[in-house]
Amino acid sequence: MTGYDENDYGFERLAYMLRTRKKEIRAWTRFAKEIAVANPGADSFTIGRKLLKNLASIENDNNANVSMKIGQLIALDRYFASINQRPILVKGMTLIDSIAEASNINFLVGSREPPKSSKRRDLVVSHWDLRATTYLTRSRLGQKRYETWDVNGPDHWNSIATRIRTGANIAIGSPVANFASELLLCMMFAVLPNKKIPVKRLPFFIVGADRDKGNESVFVRTKIDATQVDADVGNKLVKDRRSLVFGGRLFAATRQHDYALLVAQRSAVNRHVQSVLLGLTGRGTYQLARILQGDQPQQTVPEWDEGESHPPILLVLYRLVLESDDENQDVAAKKVVNYSAVQSPVLLRFTNGKWRFPDTFGQSQ
């Protein structure tokens, strides 16, 4: 197929995607079964091996003389989305596009007092968080009116909450290092920032390492024992290692892997996208910024249906693969060589007084 660009959209792109996928799974019959599994209950839009072969034979959009129903096209789009591919015919919005809908964008970066042993008196900002912010401002977000401001602890609760309501917001870093992330998460999940709630009621939370003591909050806990979480999680907790409990599963930072979680929601106040880039380490937060700016799966934050009591929340957890281990190398200095979504993007909805994962949750990529 000459002149094809993987960023194109149309039947030519669809044919290329079908041929590529068929090479991976080798049989059209198996291909058709996978599509059916990704579209439960869509019996009237069945896609058979013959239709797949005909679509795959298309050379360009001008000779796309194949008969198919709109429902079948939607079924194919849903299938490719389930395996983390791009849309077929229409370029979908990315999260960056959704954030850029706002006229004002606030980058919220955490800061803290310098160590007592230091002669410096100005506030200290993580170089990883600063790099993540700089990277995002080089995207189309930098073409908008934006502000970058540091947040130093909960003393400025009221002023922070007021400014957050003025536009789209991106909190950089985990709640361990950035109070704005904690505040934004609390606003998303409709919980009070100064009120501890049982961790089993949280869709996710960070288990801090020993060095994180004193930074506990709603979404960061350092005093966790096996009685507070499911047994398979409690038995895997390691005191000197920061971990993320996500949907009842434990993901721990190691010398081989790091993790980063994207959390996003449209504000019930102004409909703009609010997002938190939460890495277990500063490196993880920076890598998440690169993922969002780079060749990412199409992720959109849905509009809020006013029939719902709270806007839905988008969660995407990434596993970051670190470079080969070297006993003499500081793990914090290790580079990310690859990444993948742990599973398809998760959309949480608030029903019957509780945030609930979709029925498909737990199906890994």
| Backbone φ, ψ for residue 170 (5° rounding) | -125, 110
The model's confidence at residue 288, banded by pLDDT at 50, 70 and 90, is very high
How far is CA 108 from each of CA 158, 177, 178, 179, 180, rounded to the nearest angstrom? Answer: 15, 11, 8, 9, 6
Residue 160, both tokens: 């922070």
Compute the 3-state secondary structure of the chain and give helix, strand, coil in percent, each to the nearest 5: 35, 20, 45
Name the E strands within 195-343.
204-207, 220-221, 243-246, 249-252, 257-266, 273-279, 313-322, 336-341
Q: Give the span between the Cα atoms of 176 and 184, in whole angstroms.
A: 13
Give dist(CA 65, CA 356) in Å, integer. 44
Q: Is 173 exposed, middle or buried (0-12, 13-18, 19+ CB in 10 A)?
A: buried
Percent of the chain with pLDDT over 70: 70
What's the CA gap between 123 and 144, in Å, rounded?
Answer: 27
What pLDDT is recorded for position 1? 34
Could you read off the pLDDT of 204-249 as tens digits, one per residue? 999 887 677 767 788 988 766 555 555 455 445 555 678 898 988 8
Q: How far apart are CA 79 and CA 26, in angstroms?
A: 17
The pLDDT assigned to 362 comes to 55
Pick 265 or 82 by higher pLDDT: 265
Give the C-alpha separation, 70 to 60, whole Å.
19
**pLDDT tens-place string over residues 48-83:** 899 999 888 887 555 557 788 888 888 888 788 767
In whole angstroms, how far apart are CA 189 and each of 184, 216, 250? Answer: 9, 18, 21
pTM above 0.85, yes or no: no
Maximum mean pLDDT: which of 24-28, 41-45, 343-347: 24-28
Residue 94 banded pLDDT, cuts 50, 70, 90: confident
DSSP string, 11-28: HHHHHHHHHHHHHHH--H
Q: Which of 246, 248, 242 is CA-nearest to residue 222?
A: 242
Residue 334's alpha-carbon distances to 96, 323, 324, in angstroms, are: 27, 6, 8
Is it the case that residue 276 has pLDDT exceeding 90? yes
113 or 39, which is more confident? 39
Q: Is the pLDDT of residue 142 over 50?
A: yes
Specify the pLDDT at position 189.
92
Kind and range of the H or E run holding 51: helix 49-56
The dihedrals phi and psi of 22, each to the nearest 5 degrees, come to: -65, -35
Based on the number of CB atoms within 10 Å of its own CB, is 93 exposed (0-12), middle (13-18) or buried (19 or more)? Answer: middle
For the cut 80, the answer to whether the pLDDT of residue 111 exceeds it is no
Q: What percent of the chain has pLDDT over 90?
A: 13
